[in-house]
Amino acid sequence: MHPDLDRERSLARRLRELPEEAAQPYGWREFQRRSLARTRPAQGLAGGRAVATAGVLALGVIAVWARLGGWSPQPARPPSALTAPLPSSAAGHTAAMERWLASLPSEPAVVHVGTRAAVTGLEDRIAQVDDLLSAERLDQAHPARLLALQQARTRLVGALVQVRYAETLADESR
């Protein structure tokens, strides 16, 4: 008589008519298929992520290389200063610095990234100047050009000696 009572009775009747155990929505094979379908797009992005990571890493390396590398030639000097040969005392001083550097271990016991980067950068610049000197000597270049390169090399070796000496002092203080 009351519509609320009829609704409750019809609902109870329908619930009793339901089967005791509900069927599974899908089986194991369907689960595996759906699982693989979900992971495929993520696997496709893995290659893109690797490329992006490599690109960021390459940009970082280029930034560090540009900051630490890049040998820039010294400004031109008057011709009278360039024609003077390298004094023998300067050559002897350079040889003494190189002998001292050769006596040091190639890698210190404790490596600090900033110091190591400075040492590596200076060594690379010295190697570049050495290559230029060799090329200029083979081309029988003007003596003023050779002198300028030798002076640049001497300054770089001196800077390397200072950095390695500071590194040695820091290692000994520990």
Average confidence (pLDDT) over 12-40:
81
- pLDDT of 82: 41
pLDDT of residue 152: 92
Confidence class for position 126, pLDDT limits 50, 70, 90 = very high
pLDDT digits (tens, 9 = 90+) for 34-60: 888 887 665 666 667 778 888 888 888
Please check the confidence at residue 80 and state whether its pLDDT lies above 60. no
To the nearest whole percent, how much of the chain has pLDDT over 70? 73
Q: In 3D, which of 79, 48, 55, 46 has the Cα closest to residue 147?
A: 79
pTM above 0.75, yes or no: no
Does 79 have pLDDT greater than 60? no
